[in-house]
Amino acid sequence: MAVSLLATGATAADLAPGSNVPSPHVKAPPMVDPGYNWTGFYAGLNGGYSWGRSNATVLPITPLAVSIGQNADGGLGGGQAGYSWQIDPRWVLGVEADLQATGESGRSTDALTAVRIGLVGVTGTTTSSTDFPWFATFRGRAGVLADPSLLLYATGGLAVGEVKFGTQATLTAQLFDGANAPVGAPVTIAGAIVSESRTRLGWTAGAGIEKKFNRNWSAKLEYLYLDLGSATYFSGTANETTVGFHDHILRAGFNYQFAPGPVVAWY
End-to-end Cα separation, the chain, in angstroms: 35
State the pLDDT confidence band at 24, using cuts at 50, 70 and 90: low
Domains of the chain plus CATH, in order, are 45-109+129-164+202-258 (2.40.160)
Chain segment 207-248, per-residue pLDDT in tens: 999 999 998 999 999 999 999 999 999 888 877 889 999 999
Which residue from 81, 139, 92 is spatially nearest to 255, judged by alpha carbons?
81
Asked whether residue 49 carries a pLDDT value surpassing 80, the answer given is yes
> Which pLDDT does position 173 carry in this prediction?
79
Which residue from 200, 199, 210 is spatially nearest to 82, judged by alpha carbons?
210
One-letter amino acid of 130:
T
Element spanning 4, H or E:
helix 2-13
What 3-state class would DSSP assign to 135?
Answer: strand
What 3-state class would DSSP assign to 223?
Answer: strand
CB 82 within 8 A of CB 134: no
Burial class of residue 150 (count of CB atoms within 10 Å of its CB; 0-12, 13-18, 19+): middle
> Which pLDDT does position 27 carry in this prediction?
59
State the pLDDT confidence band at 188, using cuts at 50, 70 and 90: confident
